[in-house]
A and B are shown apart, each in its own frame.
Chain A
């Protein structure tokens, strides 16, 4: 169980320095970690040397340096059809160095250089450090990493300045915003899991598929891990905090009769293994998934639908993450050395940020994001954090009030719409730190007890035989190496035709007489942020969705969305384009001998 994050905050102002603007807020803990931890001692020592002495002749010294150390300890267990595929223990200490040269107004960031196409710039500053608490080794690694980052930052700043000379750039926001330094001491965490018991259970769980002859392949992936972070920067912020995350994902794939591939993934996410539902509940969900997927193999896929759609369970969480959470996260358009990269690496967030004080949802809806809430209905929220990845205290942000967009989620990278961080800067390994949602709470004042009945009534009014219910999208879908390559290549072609929502994984028809029929390989046409206004119903029941969102590079972002189920009117649904493959020549060896 995640230690309840101690959030009684003692705010005090440190003696104002001569510029009279900065203070320090101090949260939680007794400061023991900062004094005793070898990691902090080494970081302090090297930061002191760096800020005091690091300067290359005829070049500016760094104006901002941050060290972030991530101690990771992961256990991964995979099983398949009753057999154990692997158990892996991964331990690592990652050093993440942020280096800024120039000044808050113009520095080495928010720039995509031609070199390296900017694609992997997110990895810059990452390195592995010593796992032992060895002061000399840690300081030595920080010294070399800092030196490298400083030289790279100088190089990039020079490139950026030269690129800016040839482009007409007016009215750009600062590159980095100032914040009040924050000191936070959270709890360190320790991975604790009964490995033997989980291996046994996961093998058993994978045997569920022995009851479903129509499913061709399945895989169970379980991982649980601890991440303790230690952060310090040159503005006086420092923090330490522990994080735990556990995921159990079950993937099954097969083919419909015409050869179309069909697949499903269900995921259970929490802080610790104990946060997941009990084994019986998980097993029942997997059986349900396998049963539905088996049904999908027998049905016709052709569908042309236009009408109300009910989003429930995980799908409604994904709906709000993609359409609202991403839309209200401020996103800085970088300066491109070569404009071609602007097309290849489009910014996917921030599409609602110009709608401040405009109506974006029905008046009955209000939305806020609050990373400081650690659980809801006794379910731990995996999107929560006390302090963001830029060392800023996380805070509740009222995003939508009575349907009107009021505030945005902001990191320390200013944009025209948002200049002051509200503690939503999140770092994803392999990507730059961006503003992202954490725990998104969607509330409605107009709630129905029986939302499915409402859908049926709507269908009757519209003279439709059935309405559509979607309960899962593909946001967590993992890809194998070949699939990733294809997805990467196709991302160069799909500009302009993108839908803001991923493809549904599990959806079904709800007939007006109450019976259901699964759908397969469907897609939602032309989904824009405008559909938010077409929400015509919300359930009284709340969904607490813990989600691991994966992008096309398989980078993961844990978020929680707490929301009622909703009905959206006038959604067009059609089929995905699929590439049918002939069915297996031989029957499955396990089922071929059985009746």
Chain B
């Protein structure tokens, strides 16, 4: 039981390690049958449900997510997984009561079974443009959701009478103007037949290294088309295709520690994915680092200066900073509200600004995975200046208002079936005070000397981590580094080390940023939290921090395989 509750309190983000996706679009000309069927049934239902039953409905939204996915994985020269799926999922959002108080209002009482309410509620509907079948599904789901909403609203109103007034008395739903938009239709029929050979060939490359026990090359292609209509008149259809090629290698050190490295390549077009040479190069470099890691010494718990390299820093900002500026966390009585009362105050060094801009397609030449035009509440996405010159200005907002932030800025997001909350899109960390990385490294050494530390750490790659934002637990974070270097103050050569996780508390960590490099990099991934898994990006330069704390990593206890690899003897 505890495990379920744990999912609730932790915004878990296995960012780099999740999925992959593609892109192709065609202009939409004729009337869309899915959209118009949704609209017809929505209008029929809304008209009746707002007048017959109390508590009555005041908002109804239908979203259909059409997912077309192809996934191919190869390992050791052979295809291991080859699947192709097409599904359409319906998600119904029903609000009863009024925008001031409705069924989505947070219940403060603890309910052992409340994890059930976080389970996604989705229904597969016809993948064909068949109005009769679709309307039948819309009807049953609406009825089911309406009744659930009514039940929930009764709980909400009765709790209001027995509990103290909440600190934030904002309404439950903000007003918004309706949007109409028809974007591209994303299509994905197949991937080139040559992809299979490419995966077989590149995945067999590790055979030369018998100590690599686990490895795979995977290709995921996804075409997503979203259809959204609501009772306020919003009508949106949009699609996108994305591809992800992932290279993964892993082994077990002699002391039982499982070690792995992963490199994802994300793109909107399959032709932009790396070719054979580039994949082999990537495998080579991962293997080289993995070998160094396998033989690397284990770091003891340490506090001292460190550099989070660009990519690692982007993951770090996404996890530790980004999740804390999501609007709904400022309101919930269960949340730690790290930054709620800090608007207008300095929370980062004055040379750093942070904004989230879902509408930005690319950074340099790199596609951004967190790109979208409209959020999952049908609101036009906006660039949100979160921190300007170190001063906190804004939160990322869905249509759930918080004190002093009454409107959505287009950040209400979810995976189909889940409830919408405010999430990040493309989080951009900007610095006005940058130096070349070599100089930053120099500054790290100076800082070590100043603090009398024999060495500093450079975190090159981070797999993800988790951050607890709720009050009932320690509001700390843990980040799981994949690749860490030790940089000695006395000029000894850098060495790879292993066995540590970064831990800390958010406010302290951000006050320790001393300088940044000019080497911006993009982290593209998928982030899992209470509203499911959503595509995200974060862009950041390398940052130097005066103090970071690392603790011992949980370690596997199994020895490496007893028998040599079958190919080893050959």
Chain A contact residues: over half helix, strand or loop, or mixed?
Answer: mixed
Q: Would A130 and B139 count as touching, CB distance under 8 A? A: no
Q: Is B313 an interface position by the 8 A CB rule?
A: no
Q: Is A168 an interface position by the 8 A CB rule?
A: no
A53 to B564, CA, bound (A): 10
A92 to B136, CA, bound (A): 34
Q: Is A64 an interface position by the 8 A CB rule?
A: no
A482 to B117, CA, bound (A): 10
A497 to B213, CA, bound (A): 50
Q: Would A86 and B86 count as touching, CB distance under 8 A? A: yes
Q: Is B134 an interface position by the 8 A CB rule?
A: yes
Q: Is B463 an interface position by the 8 A CB rule?
A: no
Contacts of B80 in A (CB 8 A): 128-131
What is the size, in residues, of chain A's interface with B at 8 Å between Cβ atoms? Answer: 55
Q: Would A81 and B561 count as touching, CB distance under 8 A? A: no
Contacts of A584 in B (CB 8 A): 139-140, 143
Q: Is B81 an interface position by the 8 A CB rule?
A: yes
Known A-B contacts A131-B78, A132-B79, A136-B207; the reply to A86 vs B562 at CB < 8 A is: no
Contacts of B49 in A (CB 8 A): 585-586
Determine the residue in chain B with the shortest Cβ distance to A216.
Answer: B140
Q: Would A585 and B76 count as touching, CB distance under 8 A? A: no
A147 to B76, CA, bound (A): 18
Q: Is A416 an interface position by the 8 A CB rule?
A: no
Contacts of A585 in B (CB 8 A): 48-49, 52-53, 143, 146
Q: Is B389 an interface position by the 8 A CB rule?
A: no
Q: Would B78 and A134 count as touching, CB distance under 8 A? A: yes
Q: Would B136 and A217 count as touching, CB distance under 8 A? A: yes
A86 to B124, CA, bound (A): 9
Partner-contacting stretch, out of A2-10, A138-146, A277-285, A381-389? A138-146
- Given A89, A92, A134, which contacts B76 in the complex, CB threshold below 8 Å? A134
- Given A46, A54, A83, which contacts B128 in the complex, CB threshold below 8 Å? A83
Known A-B contacts A134-B78, A586-B44, A590-B132; the reply to A140 vs B567 at CB < 8 A is: yes
Determine the residue in chain B with the shortest Cβ distance to A480.
Answer: B123
Determine the residue in chain B with the shortest Cβ distance to A49.
Answer: B563
A580 to B207, CA, bound (A): 61
Q: Would A482 and B561 count as touching, CB distance under 8 A? A: no
Known A-B contacts A81-B133, A481-B119; the reply to A137 vs B76 at CB < 8 A is: yes
Q: Would B563 and A143 count as touching, CB distance under 8 A? A: yes
Determine the residue in chain A with the shortest Cβ distance to B196.
Answer: A132
Q: Would A80 and B126 count as touching, CB distance under 8 A? A: yes
- Per-position contact with A for B277-295: 1 when CB-CB < 8 Å, else 0? 0000000000000000000
Determine the residue in chain B with the shortest Cβ distance to A586.
Answer: B48
Q: Would B133 and A80 count as touching, CB distance under 8 A? A: yes
Q: Is A396 an interface position by the 8 A CB rule?
A: no
A139 to B133, CA, bound (A): 48
- Per-position contact with B for A58-102: 1 when CB-CB < 8 Å, else 0? 000000000000000000001011111111111110000000000
Determine the residue in chain A with the shortest Cβ distance to B136.
Answer: A81
Contacts of A138 in B (CB 8 A): 78
Determine the residue in chain A with the shortest Cβ distance to B116.
Answer: A485
A81 to B133, CA, bound (A): 5
A150 to B558, CA, bound (A): 11
Near A by CB (< 8 A), chain B positions 55-95 give 75-87
Q: Would B566 and A83 count as touching, CB distance under 8 A? A: no
- Per-position contact with B for A106-135: 1 when CB-CB < 8 Å, else 0? 000000000000000000000011111010
Contacts of A210 in B (CB 8 A): 132
A309 to B561, CA, bound (A): 61
Determine the residue in chain A with the shortest Cβ distance to B84.
Answer: A89
* Distance to closest chain B CB from A574 (angstroms): 28
* Distance to closest chain A CB from B91 (angstroms): 14
Q: Would A80 and B562 count as touching, CB distance under 8 A? A: no
Q: Is B166 an interface position by the 8 A CB rule?
A: no
Contacts of A148 in B (CB 8 A): 558
A377 to B315, CA, bound (A): 65
Q: Is B130 an interface position by the 8 A CB rule?
A: yes
Near A by CB (< 8 A), chain B positions 141-163 give 142-143, 146-147
Q: Would B75 and A143 count as touching, CB distance under 8 A? A: no
* Distance to closest chain B CB from A252 (angstroms): 12
Q: Would B75 and A137 count as touching, CB distance under 8 A? A: yes
Determine the residue in chain B with the shortest Cβ distance to A88.
Answer: B85
Near A by CB (< 8 A), chain B positions 405-423 give none
A130 to B203, CA, bound (A): 12
Q: Would B565 and A143 count as touching, CB distance under 8 A? A: yes
Q: Would B128 and A482 count as touching, CB distance under 8 A? A: no
Contacts of B137 in A (CB 8 A): 80-81
A582 to B130, CA, bound (A): 28
* Distance to closest chain B CB from A144 (angstroms): 6
Known A-B contacts A86-B85, A89-B83, A485-B116; the reply to A589 vs B41 at CB < 8 A is: yes
Q: Is B348 an interface position by the 8 A CB rule?
A: no
Q: Would B77 and A131 count as touching, CB distance under 8 A? A: no
* Distance to closest chain A CB from B5 (angstroms): 15
A45 to B200, CA, bound (A): 23
Q: Is A588 an interface position by the 8 A CB rule?
A: yes
A590 to B138, CA, bound (A): 11
A: residues with CB less than 8 A from B are 45-46, 49-50, 53-56, 78, 80-92, 128-132, 134, 136-141, 143-144, 147-148, 150-151, 206, 210, 216-217, 481-482, 485, 581-582, 584-586, 588-590
9 smallest beta-carbon distances between A and B, as pairs: A83-B133, A83-B126, A130-B78, A137-B78, A134-B78, A132-B78, A83-B130, A137-B76, A147-B561
Return 11 A-B CB contacts under 8 Å, by A number. A46-B566, A80-B125, A80-B126, A80-B133, A85-B126, A130-B75, A143-B561, A143-B563, A147-B561, A206-B133, A589-B44
Excluding A90-B83, A132-B79, 6 further A-B contacts by CB distance (< 8 Å) are A85-B124, A85-B125, A134-B78, A217-B140, A482-B119, A582-B147
